[in-house]
Structure formats: structure tokens, C-alpha cells
Amino acid sequence: MVNQSNVGQPLVQASLIGEAIDGGPMAVFVADEEMRLVAVNGYAAELLGYARDELLELSVAELSADKGVDERFGRLARRGERVDGRTGLLAKDGSVVRFERRSQATSIAGMTLYVWVGWPLDEPVSGTTPAPGRRSARASG
């Protein structure tokens, strides 16, 4: 059980959020200003078939299956606002995993980092049905 007397403390919150995100239900990627991956969660590595250490050796450009990723990353860096969209990432086996994603710049320990969270488009959410006109790849396959 969580000790409620100190749960609101910043260090406790950082630890709880960090552990929740690492095993969480969304893929999380963090990149630096040079597009190098500096952190990924376990779900991201699992979805793409990489070990975490392997993913951390890649850049956003190397992982992206979409053309124009350098330009989009630059716009994200210049805007400093949240950007929503879809993207494709290259899995270790060479397949492309399509994601719905949300990206935003943030500052951590004085460094500007770029965080995006995403979920695969072809993985239905348990207990739900796709909205009209939005069928999953598995459902249509």
C-alpha cells in the first residue's frame, strides 16, 4: 500500500509516475534535440521487438518509417506545443507498426527533451469497438 502521508511529494510522484509509465499501456519515447532516443518504456520495446538497449542506440530518424520525420521533428522543436498525429515505426523484424501519437517538448533537468506517447492502430482496445469508419487491421484482415 502507498504511504498517503508523502504521496504528494515531488520525488515520490516522479518515482510512481516513472514506474507506472515503464510498464504502462502506451508506448513512450523520449528524444533529445539531436533526435537520439534517450529513454523508452518497456511496452515500446515489446511492440517493436527490440530490447530496450537496442532501441536506445537508434535515432528517431532511424526508427521512423515515414518520410519527412526530420522536418516534423524540427517543427515540433520550433513550436514547443503539443502535436497529435499518426506515424509508422520500423520494428526489428522490418515490419512497420502504425501508431496514433501525441508529442510535446518538455524540460527535464534543464534539458529540452521531446516526449511522445503512442498506441498501435492495429491493436483494438479491450472491451471497445472501433468507431464507424475506423476498423483495426486485425478486424479488417
Render pLDDT for 57-71 as a digit per residue (tens, 0 to 9).
999 989 998 887 777
Q: Is residue 7 part of a domain?
A: no
Instruction: List, for residues 68-115, the tens digit of each pLDDT value.
Output: 777 777 777 777 778 888 989 999 999 999 999 998 888 888 888 999
Give me the domain span that covers residue 102. Answer: 24-120
* Mean pLDDT, rounded, for 49-56: 96
Q: How many structural domains are present in the chain?
A: 1
Q: How far is CA 109 from CA 25, 106, 112, 113, in A?
A: 26, 10, 9, 10
List of E strands, the chain: 27-31, 37-40, 83-90, 96-108, 111-120
Say which CATH number the domain at 69 has. Answer: 3.30.450.20
Residue 126 has pLDDT above 60, yes or no: no
Cell numbers placing 115: 516526449
Query: How far is 132 from 73, CA to CA, in rounded Å?
Result: 31
Q: Is residue 133, in this structure, part of any structural domain at all?
A: no
For 65, which DSSP code? -
pTM value is 0.76
